Amino acid sequence: MSYPSLLAETVTFTGHNGDRGEAYYARPTRAEKFPGIVVVHHLPGWDEWIIEVVRKFAHHGFAAISPHLYFRNGPGSPDDVGARVRASGGVPDDQVVGDVAGAMAFLRAQANANGKVAIIGFCSGGRHAYLCACCIDNVDAVVDCWGGNVIVDDKTQLNAKRPVAPIDLTENLRAPLLGLFGNDDQNPTPEHVNRTEAVLRRLGKNYEFHRYPDAGHAFFNTKRTAFRAEQAADGWAKIFAFLRKHLAA
Amino acid sequence: MCSYIVEKTAVSGSAKGPNGWMRIDTANVYFDHPYHAPLDHALAIDFVCEADGANERVAVELSADSARALVKNILAALTSGEGAHAA
């Protein structure tokens, strides 16, 4: 079932440390209860594609929100702010966790909420989604789309902003996890995906991984040559099936 | 992949952005997902003035091949230009 009649707007949410920032929020207009989903953007920033993804979720019957994780680093357009954040080494993991938890609280506070909330992230946002699901208690489902650096072999890459590799927090993961990956991806490599799966299996976690041939990184992104129509269509179908299974009220 | 790797170069000069000319002191160079160019990865250069707060930037996103061609021609222009001015 689709919900082409939807409302989409920029809203203010309360994130980490009580800081108030902007987020993009879309939901069906129909007077029903809907599951929620937090959409985590990739490192370049809060771009047009991630905004489109928020509306896509609303179209498919979710109340979706994407917090602008760089709102503290303004003013400026999202691309300029993203460049500024990149030059300063990214945003701290604990701040992202606080912002995502705040966006989840925003969704649960809405009159249309069915109470269930998932997290999905793409690229570095996939890593953030995995991290958040290990750090936030009340996550009902999580989707990691090709998040790189979940495993960190070179520990010199860990720093004050990213002090722990998410894989080392997997014990704390309680939400069911869906992972989508391209077999031609360089980060995460298929070997990293296999090692992540081995940890999930060893710890008895509820997960499903899907690996796609002839697909690299960001194969959902219609604005890039990496887009793979067939694999992306299957991936979206798996995402919606997974979320409907785990977010039913 | 999303990479946090940024090569910072101290530069001296000016750049023209949406608000006109500004002095610059830094070029941030990285190879990652572009914001605008329809490429999977792009060589990006952000020219900023950190001394002025880096609130503005002049940005380019180039394909890897064209970035390499640019590097070659920057060096060629410097060699021929400096040679001509020294003559």
- Provide the residue ranges of all domains of chain A, joining segments of one domain with +: 6-246
Tally of CB atoms within 10 A around B37 = 17
Residue A91: band (very low, low, confident or very high) from pLDDT cuts 50, 70, 90 = very high
Test B59 with A148 for CB contact under 8 angstroms: no
- Which residues of B make CB contacts under 8 Å with A? 1-4, 6, 8, 28, 30, 32-36, 38-40, 44, 46, 48, 54-57, 59
pLDDT in tens, B8-18: 999 999 999 88
Q: Do B3 and A43 touch (CB under 8 A)?
A: yes
Given A123, A132, A134, A135, the catalytic residue: A123
Domain assignment present for B1: no
- Cβ B6–A225 below 8 Å, yes or no? no
Cross-chain CB nearest to A89 (options B2, B4, B35): B4
Q: Please write the tens of the pLDDT for every residue from B21-73.
A: 999 999 999 999 899 998 989 999 999 999 999 989 999 999 999 999 999 99
Task: For residue B4, list chain A residues with Cβ-Cβ distance below 8 A.
Answer: 43, 86, 89-90
Among 3.20.20.210, 3.90.45.10, 3.50.50.60, 3.40.50.1820, name the CATH number for the domain at A6-246.
3.40.50.1820
φ and ψ at residue A222, rounded to 5 degrees: -70, -10
Q: Per the domain annotation, does B32 fall within a domain?
A: yes
Tell me, yes or no, if A99 is annotated catalytic: no
Written as one string, the DSSP assignment of A190-230 is HHHHHHHHHHHHHTT--EEEEEETT--TTTT-TTSTT--HH
pLDDT at site A228: 97
Locus of tokens 């938890």: A101
How much of chain A, in percent, has pLDDT values that exceed 90? 96
Chain A interface test: which of B3, B4, B61 (most A C-beta within 10 Å): B4
Q: Is the pLDDT of residue B2 over 70?
A: no
Q: What is the pLDDT of residues A156-173, one digit of tens each?
A: 999 999 999 999 999 999
- Check pLDDT > 80 for residue B19: yes
- Starting at the edge strand that comes first in sequence, how are the strands of the sheet with A34-40 ordered? A6-14, A20-28, A63-67, A34-40, A113-122, A141-145, A177-182, A207-212
Tell me if residue A123 is catalytic.
yes
pLDDT at B1: 55
CB-based contact A83 B56, cutoff 8 Å: no
Q: How many domains does chain B have?
A: 1
Look at A86 and B35 and tell me if their CB atoms are within 8 Å: no
Q: Mean pLDDT, to the nearest integer, of A19-26?
A: 98
pLDDT at residue A1 is higher than 90: no
Residue B52 lies in a domain: yes
Q: How confident is the model at residue B3 (pLDDT cuts 50, 70, 90)?
A: confident
HSE (side-chain half, CA atoms, 13 Å) at A193: 26
Q: Is residue B78 part of a domain?
A: yes
Contacts of A96 in chain B (CB under 8 A): none
Question: What is the distance between the alpha carbons of residues A161 and A43, in angstroms, rounded to a whole number?
Answer: 14
Q: Which domain holds residue B38?
A: 7-86
pLDDT attached to residue B86 = 83
Q: Interface pTM (ipTM) of the complex?
A: 0.79
- Please give the pLDDT value at position A106: 98
Longest CA–CA separation in chain A, Å: 51
Task: Please check the confidence at residue A103 and state whether its pLDDT lies above 70.
Answer: yes
Told to judge if A185 belongs to the known catalytic residues of this protein, a careful annotator would answer yes
Q: How does residue A223 score in pLDDT terms, banded at 50, 70 and 90? A: confident
Task: Classify residue B58: in a domain, yes or no.
Answer: yes
Q: Please write the tens of the pLDDT for every residue from A169-209.
A: 999 999 999 999 999 999 999 999 999 999 999 999 999 99
Q: What DSSP element (H or E) covers A8? A: strand A6-14
Model pLDDT for residues A29-82, shown as the tens digit of each residue: 999 999 999 999 999 999 999 999 999 999 999 999 999 999 999 888 999 999
- Cross-chain CB nearest to B2 (options A79, A84, A124): A124
Q: Is the pLDDT at A249 greater than 90, yes or no?
A: no
Residue B80 covered by a domain = yes
